[in-house]
Structure 1
Amino acid sequence: MIADHQVAFFLREAGSPDPARREAAAKGLSKVPGQVSELARLTADPEPEVRAAAALGLGRQGEAVPVELLVPLCSDPDAEVRRRAVNALDRLGATSPAVAASFVQRVGDAELRNRAVVLDWLLRYEVPVPAESLVPLLADSDPRLWGGARSLLRLLPEADAIFADLVRTATGEVRQRALDMLASPKGGIPGMGVGATPEAREAAWRRLWDPEPRVVRALLAALEAETEPHARSVLFRALAAHRVPEAVTPAAAWLADPECGPAAAAALAGAGTVEAVDLLREFALGAGPRRDEARSVVVDLLRRFVSGAGMRRAEMRAAAIRELGAAGGVAEAELLLGLLDAPDKRVRLGAVGGLGTFFQRFDGDLPGRLERWRAERVPGQPVPPPPDDPAVRELARRSAERLAHMLTVDVENASSYHNALWHIPEVRPLLPALLEDPEGRVRSTALHLAERFGDMDFTGRLRFLNDAHPHVRQGAALNFLLVAEKRELTPAERDTLRPHLERGQDDTDYYVRTFTAKALTHVGHASHGRVGHAS
């Protein structure tokens, strides 16, 4: 606590002709509430050390500080004054347009030692920054600068054009950093994050699926110039994420390549045109008759590849089969259903994945709903049937029956069947039998699906908390934790559940102990210090 006589001393010293004493006075006043006016006067001091101390002090004065006092200091001729002003505004939580404009100007300030604070602030509030200010920072050695710069670039609609140009023209770490961003084309797009509003999320997906022409041109140019297989695959997958119809021709040329083939198949699926689906079907099932001379070279290439032998060929075919489900219609999904009988396990699992991606397009989430919007905008894009189309639902019923049966006889690949059935509600009538299956991994998969479709009640979940298989107990414990966190348990259910959760603290499985311990904190009692114990 600073005494009144000390405050009076600081106020006298603030008018001293000695700059060092004025600086000391500003630092002293910064610790005294209610000194905004005196510190504001010192921001106009002719000596930069005094102005810097005043900016520091204003940052400590709290909400009473008018932002307009600090914004001009962000453009002060002295770098230390600018640094203190930036820190003060960040500390005060200032968010005005004037602050945003000032911080954008500071992105290119090489003398500013705390530019990372500026970048973090701009990213936090998703403020667009001109690309020409950000691209030079990608070559910086400080990860806070190049990392913040590339994340800010992703806010721009033309971001992937910039990254593609850098992949094509840059070298070393700059090229790699751009390539890493193209490898995650959804990451950092405004509206894609957790907590985004439905409107922002839809806008984000529309941006991804309807990229600016510059993005398409840059990605195709980078692909044409690329000589390194991994980078070529990244570019194909970026084209797939952006659903670029113009990717069909280059993707067809690389579809049979052992290293880039799966990514090329993804690009064809993303394009989703009739021609792209035909090419995927031909590659997956064997080349059919030629439809025109323009495609003869591609079809010949596919025919030679598909007629070959070897492990790699089967893996490539499986990749194309999976992508066929992402792009094809009911006819293609019927072909995938037939491939569940294929003798090669990789082909069978490719068909399982393909059916999963097919039905994912009809399970009511936003990307699925936007399929029709995109189809109406893209020439050559088939319009998918509505989710309640009788042919789709009948196919879903038959697929659920086949996949559920395969799950019981191929538990080694339970996760593949789980992922496919996650999008097929027609599995619900089959879940009671699967929940009683003697194999624990089958019961675990069925429990996850029952929770997914709302078919698991308190009593059933409680029974599975005592299951013999640890994965089943994990699923039950996790879901009890979730319902406890949401306060969806009645008082009677909490009383019934509590001793089961307490016994869970002696479970041999770490995750069961962890989930039950956390759940206990929400039902009124928790055993402490035993999560890491195994009996």
Structure 2
Amino acid sequence: MTAGHQIAFFLRELTAPDPGRRAAAAKGLGRIGGAEHTTALAAVAGDAEPEVRAAAAIGLGRLGVREAAEQVLPALMADVDARPRRRAALAAIKLGLDGTAVVTAFARLLRDPDHHVRINALDGLAALGATGDVPALVALFGDPDWAVWGRARTLAWRHRDDPAVRAEVVRTARQGIGAARARALDTLPDRCTESLAESLVEGLRDPSGEVRIQVTRRLSGVTRPGTGEALTAALEAERDPRAAAALLHALERQDDARVAAAAVRWLRDPVAGASAAGVVGAVGSRSAVERLRAVLGDGTMPGRTRAAAAVAVGEWGRWDAVWLLLPLLDDPDADVRTGATDGLGALVDGGLRPWERGAVARALTGRLASGADRVWRTRNALIGLRDALPAVRRLADGSPLTEVRAAALSLLEPARRPDGNARHDVGRFVRALDDPEEPVRYHAALGLGEWIEAGGEPPRDRERVRGRLWALASETSPRLRHAAETALRALDAVPGE
């Protein structure tokens, strides 16, 4: 069948008794027809069946005749049925229609009950660089569909310098309802917090947990009198674990017995428990210490809560902290093991007692050697612990694990404060330049460069090392290239023999 015969067939089918046939004809005519067929499709746009009206919108979009589409599509975008509204909006976007009637139609569709239509309206306004109905746009911040509220917030952000948009977002942040208010609060820049302060305090009692969370995050940076008391009162009244976690985080560094007392009831909660342990840990009282010791020994507590308690115990640095934390390195819960590692790292930073150093060094290097859990967290805990350096050197030389060799080498870099035997590490760095794994070569080049820059004795076979560094400076890894180039410059700056 030729194109002419097909067009004639579609024109006849536009009057068929079956609406499915009429709809198929409208789509087909749009696909192979020409500008002269816009009148026929415009007529079908008034069909009694929504399926056919939607097909007319598709057909007009395919024909690509803007003048005809501008006359028909805005009316279809106000159709009583969602299908024609959706297809008409898509056709208007496809054709790039930008007349006043189209902008008005898109603005009206921001309030459409069909979420697909709301998405099309937002896409259409974004393409036109328009906001449409500003209150309706900002109200969509509260839409349950991410595809809708995400687009709405993006469009509002693009027009953030528009006074009407800015005023509506601020109004919603102060007086909005539920998710719309929460997302408006999340959208506004930090500089707006002070002007929102009164409404924020009131928002601590909002029925929506999402609003209370956003309000708390805003208030955590406010220093005006009464804010701390309001947050504490809110914590005492809170029942939502997520909102409680936000409040606990905001109050974490306050050495306040009232806050600690309010935090205790959340210790067993899997969401808020870790923040609660942090709050209790900020209070140096004897009862707080005993509470966290009990948390550490209670295997029924959430792992994240016990981990936070371990960090707090390490930060306190009390006489028994090391002996409380060392057994936790073998705890069945990975979070607890990580918390114990971080707590021991805090103790290393604070300065271990002479009789504690050996035990901590053996335990942490043992964990490093195993490659278990988070190798670099263990490495961080070892920084500055000189008693661990002999074992660290053995790991740098002989560990079968790439991550462990790299982490061990990094602990020997001059910036990590190695011991008096650091001059022997230059050969170790040189040997590791030939390691088959990039992380090890990177830390070898980094350590060698730092050693030479710090005034250390350069490697003996300087020319061979220079050649190896030149080769590494051509590798694909940007960080390895940079480390090798830095080491080369340091080596070239050393006077020749």
Under a length normalisation based on structure 2, what TM-score does the superposition of the two structures give?
Answer: 0.51
Displacement of 1:402? 1.4
Letter in 2 for 1:428: L
- Alignment size in residue pairs: 312
Gaps of 5+ in 1: 1-112, 116-134, 154-158, 190-210, 287-305, 364-386, 526-535
Q: Which of 388, 400, 418 matches 1:454?
A: 418
- Matched with 2:247 is 235
Partner Cα separation in structure 2 for residue 315 and residue 238 of structure 1: 18
The answer to whether the 8 A contact 2:395-2:404 is kept is yes
Structure 1 137/350 Cα, relative in aligned 2: closer, same or farther at 3 Å?
same
2:484 matches 1:516: yes
Partner Cα separation in structure 2 for residue 217 and residue 430 of structure 1: 51
- Matched with 1:294 is none
* Amino-acid identity (%): 28
Structure 1 142/268 Cα, relative in aligned 2: closer, same or farther at 3 Å?
closer
- Matched with 1:284 is 296
Q: Which of 377, 388, 398 matches 2:359?
A: 398
What are the within-5 Å matches in structure 2 for residues 182-197 of structure 1?
Answer: none
The one-character-per-residue Cα deviations of 1:357-416 (angstroms, maximum 9, x if unpaired) are: 3333x15xxxxxxxxxxxxxxxxxxxxxxx6xxxx2321321111111222123453123
Q: Which of 281, 306, 321 matches 1:332?
A: 321
Partner Cα separation in structure 1 for residue 196 and residue 391 of structure 2: 45
Partner Cα separation in structure 2 for residue 270 and residue 160 of structure 1: 29
The answer to whether the 8 A contact 2:474-2:481 is kept is yes
Partner Cα separation in structure 2 for residue 447 and residue 342 of structure 1: 28
The answer to whether the 8 A contact 2:241-2:269 is kept is no
Displacement of 1:219? 2.7
2:437 matches 1:476: no
The answer to whether the 8 A contact 2:410-2:447 is kept is no
Displacement of 1:483? 7.0
Displacement of 1:167? 5.5
The one-character-per-residue Cα deviations of 1:436-492 (angstroms, maximum 9, x if unpaired) are: 2222322222222222123545444333333233222222334456678x7868999
The answer to whether the 8 A contact 1:326-1:354 is kept is yes
Letter in 1 for 2:277: A
Letter in 1 for 2:258: E
- Matched with 1:262 is 274
- Matched with 1:50 is none
Partner Cα separation in structure 1 for residue 245 and residue 478 of structure 2: 39
Structure 1 282/481 Cα, relative in aligned 2: closer, same or farther at 3 Å?
same
- Matched with 2:232 is 220
Q: Which of 440, 464, 467 matches 2:432?
A: 464
SS in 2 for 1:271: coil
The answer to whether the 8 A contact 1:353-1:416 is kept is yes
The answer to whether the 8 A contact 2:235-2:248 is kept is yes
Q: Which of 390, 397, 416 matches 2:377?
A: 416
The answer to whether the 8 A contact 2:173-2:184 is kept is no
The one-character-per-residue Cα deviations of 1:244-286 (angstroms, maximum 9, x if unpaired) are: 4432211111111121111101111122321111111112214
Under a length normalisation based on structure 1, what TM-score does the superposition of the two structures give?
Answer: 0.48
Partner Cα separation in structure 2 for residue 487 and residue 430 of structure 1: 24
Letter in 2 for 1:513: R
2:136 matches 1:147: no
Displacement of 1:138? 7.4
SS in 1 for 2:268: coil
SS in 1 for 2:412: helix
Of residues 251-260 and 460-469 in structure 1, the stretch that sits farther from structure 2 once superposed is 460-469
Gaps of 5+ in 2: 1-160, 164-169, 175-180
Partner Cα separation in structure 1 for residue 209 and residue 269 of structure 2: 26
Structure 1 477/492 Cα, relative in aligned 2: closer, same or farther at 3 Å?
closer
Letter in 1 for 2:444: A
Partner Cα separation in structure 2 for residue 423 and residue 281 of structure 1: 27
Structure 1 410/471 Cα, relative in aligned 2: closer, same or farther at 3 Å?
same
Letter in 2 for 1:475: H
Partner Cα separation in structure 1 for residue 246 and residue 479 of structure 2: 35
The answer to whether the 8 A contact 2:469-2:485 is kept is yes
Structure 1 314/250 Cα, relative in aligned 2: closer, same or farther at 3 Å?
same
Partner Cα separation in structure 2 for residue 450 and residue 162 of structure 1: 53
What are the within-5 Å matches in structure 2 for residues 4-15 of structure 1?
Answer: none
Partner Cα separation in structure 1 for residue 374 and residue 252 of structure 2: 27
The answer to whether the 8 A contact 1:444-1:471 is kept is yes
Partner Cα separation in structure 2 for residue 313 and residue 402 of structure 1: 24
Partner Cα separation in structure 2 for residue 395 and residue 516 of structure 1: 38
Displacement of 1:355? 1.7
The one-character-per-residue Cα deviations of 1:414-451 (angstroms, maximum 9, x if unpaired) are: 12321221253432343322222222322222222222
The one-character-per-residue Cα deviations of 1:214-238 (angstroms, maximum 9, x if unpaired) are: 4532331232343432232122122
The answer to whether the 8 A contact 1:137-1:145 is kept is no
Structure 1 174/479 Cα, relative in aligned 2: closer, same or farther at 3 Å?
farther
SS in 2 for 1:507: coil
SS in 2 for 1:272: coil
Letter in 1 for 2:204: R
Partner Cα separation in structure 2 for residue 477 and residue 284 of structure 1: 41
- Matched with 1:504 is 472
Partner Cα separation in structure 2 for residue 267 and residue 341 of structure 1: 26
The answer to whether the 8 A contact 1:265-1:280 is kept is yes
The answer to whether the 8 A contact 1:138-1:147 is kept is no
2:366 matches 1:354: no
Partner Cα separation in structure 1 for residue 185 and residue 274 of structure 2: 32
